[in-house]
Structure 1
Amino acid sequence: MLKTAILATLLAAAIPAFATGPEKVTTVIFVNAAEEEATPSAGLSTEGQDQARMFTEALRHIDVAAIYTIYQNKAVQTVGPLSELRQLHPVYYWVTRDSETRECVLDCIVKKNKGKTIVICGNPENIPAMARSLGVRAKAVKTLYDKGSGQFLIVQVLGNNTAVAQKLNMNIQKKV
């Protein structure tokens, strides 16, 4: 179900771009770092490891061109399984509170990967700001990370500087 939702979102967001011309659609999949143990140096909790596996499984059939992550244990471990599956080394980026610098870093990442699908892993307080920098309305990401870990956001960046977003939860397929 999660894979179907991701694929449907990717396809639906790409249709308007093809209708208006040959503009390339860039897909940015923001993922919040998975749940970690009470002691951060211990790594991901069992739930966090499950979240990382489910995220990787959800993207199994998506052609991911690059993986970006902050240099923080829980973030690196969150994208680790996807990195291994795709045989891609994560590229580390620096988190900054300065919006101008953050937007510049994000702009460079998106321009470098124009027309591709990329993953960006970070902290809950940074991802909504990054999504807004891409043109996602604040209302769409306002409550995205209220629950903390295990959330991800797919943002389709169209050539005319507009963005379409879809929020998903990695626990959607969790067995009860």
Structure 2
Amino acid sequence: MLKTAILATMLAAGLSSFATGPEKVTTIIFVNAAEEEVSPSAGLSPEGQDQAREFTDALRHIDVAAIYTIYVNKAVQTVTPLSELRQLHPVYYWVTKDHETADCVLDCIVKQNKGKTIVICGNPENIPLMARCLGVKGKTVKNLYDKGSGRFLIVKVMGNNTAVAQKLNMNIQKKV
């Protein structure tokens, strides 16, 4: 009887999160395209091939639901080992420097993958823009994100649209 009264009081007080259960967290793993040969049409350099393999190995035990990449040779080749491992076809997205368009593209990607882990591969100059679109503060992106080839950054988007960013290769987590 007491439990019923407490539950009724909580619901009446508007604590709907108590009744709806845990929030869904969407995890986005941003990865820079790996290093390419001097001639872009030649593909990844030997170091870039190592970066792509290391990235795949780092995610070997993570359940990746979708892989997004820009349609650039080095980016496609960066996610190819992971897409083969997961038997997922990469989905291509359009790169834009316009904040509003980038926000719209990213919003659609997040909504389609709510509560899942996804990979987004792009150029080093686009990933900070996308992280900021998710709500990560610019200073935090600058402190956590290394723009070198093959680097990656994790952004977790909570159900209440707050974002947490961390480096995958370091045990740093910062609420943003």
**Matches of 2:149 and 2:133, distance apart in 1:** 21
1:120 aligns with 2:143: no
1:21 is displaced (CA, Å) by 4.5
Going from structure 1 to structure 2, the CA distance change for 1:28 and 1:62 (only over 3 Å counts) comes to same
SS at match of 2:155: strand
Letter in 1 for 2:146: Y
Unaligned runs of 5+ residues in structure 2 are 1-17, 171-176
- The 4+ residue runs of structure 1 with deviation greater than 6 A are none
Q: Structure 1 length as normaliser, TM-score?
A: 0.82
- After superposition, the CA RMSD in angstroms is 1.9
Partner of 1:54: 54
What is the alpha-carbon distance in structure 2 between the residues aligned to residue 45 and residue 141 of structure 1? 27
User: Relative contact order, CA 8 A, sep 6+: which one is greater?
Assistant: 1
Aligned length: 152
| 2:29 partner amino acid | I
Contact 1:150/1:169 (<8 A) preserved: no
Q: Distance in 2 between matches of 1:78 and 1:121?
A: 8
CA distance in 2, matches of 1:74, 1:163: 28
- In the TM superposition, what is the alpha-carbon distance from 1:28 to its structure 2 partner? 0.2
- 2:75 maps to a residue whose letter is A
**Residue deviations 1:30-52, cap 9 Å, x none?**
00000000111000000000000
Relative to the length of structure 2, the TM-score reads: 0.82
After TM superposition, give the deviation of residue 120 of structure 1 in Å: 0.1
Fraction of identical pairs, as percent? 83
User: Which amino acid counterpart does residue 60 of structure 1 have in structure 2?
Assistant: R
Instruction: Report the alpha carbon displacement of residue 169 of structure 1 after superposing the two structures with TM.
Output: 4.9
Alpha-carbon deviation of 1:127?
A: 0.1
Confirm or deny: 8 A CA contact 1:30 1:127 kept in the other structure: yes
Q: Which residue of 1 aligns with 2:139?
A: 139
